[in-house]
């Protein structure tokens, strides 16, 4: 089963990666994330997000009063975390088609929401940086890119993984 999981993961990873590039999904993902943040940021943080406007020196800028803060997060690169997430879901043995499709859709939505939260937090973390904010910035990037795909996969496929990995109590086990 381990080899089948690994092969299914690698094959789906290659397919998703190819689709990601051919369909130019990183560009779409960037636009969707920035458009969402642009709508909610003023209410959430007070910062206004401008992006891809003619004459802008930086492609993405947060503004608050007279302060301008260029956004350095590379959303197309950050969005690549979806590829391993989707591949892990597809490779999960015993998931079934209906649960797999549901997990894929929820995974995409939750990963998107997480990235929106990261971008919304960006001006709060990067404006007037200090040691605590720098650490928080590195941590949020690590969580969004590396931890989120694994955590979401585990959460979305837990019922299947639980029985597969025998994570819960079984009737054959006796208390010690």
Domain boundaries along the sequence of the chain: 2-165
SS3 95: coil
Count of alpha carbons within 13 angstroms of residue 35, beta-carbon side: 6
Tokens of 33: 């994330």
* Contact (Cβ atoms closer than 8 angstroms) between residue 36 and residue 109: no
Cite the DSSP H helix spans in 23-130: 25-44, 75-78, 82-91, 97-126
pLDDT tens per residue across all 176 residues of the chain: 688 989 999 999 999 999 999 999 999 999 999 999 999 999 999 999 999 999 888 999 999 999 999 998 899 988 999 999 999 999 999 889 999 999 999 999 999 999 999 999 999 888 887 888 778 878 887 788 788 999 999 999 988 877 666 556 655 555 55
- Pair 56, 34: CB distance under 8 Å: no
Secondary structure class of 174 (helix, strand, coil): coil
């Amino acid at each position: 089963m381990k080899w089948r999981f690994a092969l299914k993961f690698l094959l789906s990873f290659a397919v998703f990666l190819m689709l990601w590039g051919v369909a130019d999904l990183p560009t779409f993902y960037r636009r969707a994330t920035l458009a969402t943040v642009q709508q909610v940021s003023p209410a959430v943080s007070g910062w206004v997000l401008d992006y891809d406007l003619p004459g802008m020196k930086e492609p993405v800028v947060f503004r608050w009063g007279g302060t301008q803060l260029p956004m350095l997060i590379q959303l197309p690169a950050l969005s690549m975390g979806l590829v391993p997430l989707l591949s892990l879901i597809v490779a999960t043995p015993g998931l079934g088609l209906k649960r797999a499709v549901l997990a894929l859709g929820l995974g995409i939505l939750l990963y998107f929401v997480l990235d929106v939260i990261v971008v919304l937090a960006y001006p709060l973390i990067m404006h007037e940086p200090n040691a605590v904010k720098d650490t928080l910035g590195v941590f949020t990037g690590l969580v969004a890119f590396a931890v989120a795909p694994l955590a979401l996969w585990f959460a979305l496929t837990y019922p299947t993984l639980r029985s597969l990995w025998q994570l819960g109590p079984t009737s054959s086990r006796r208390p010690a």
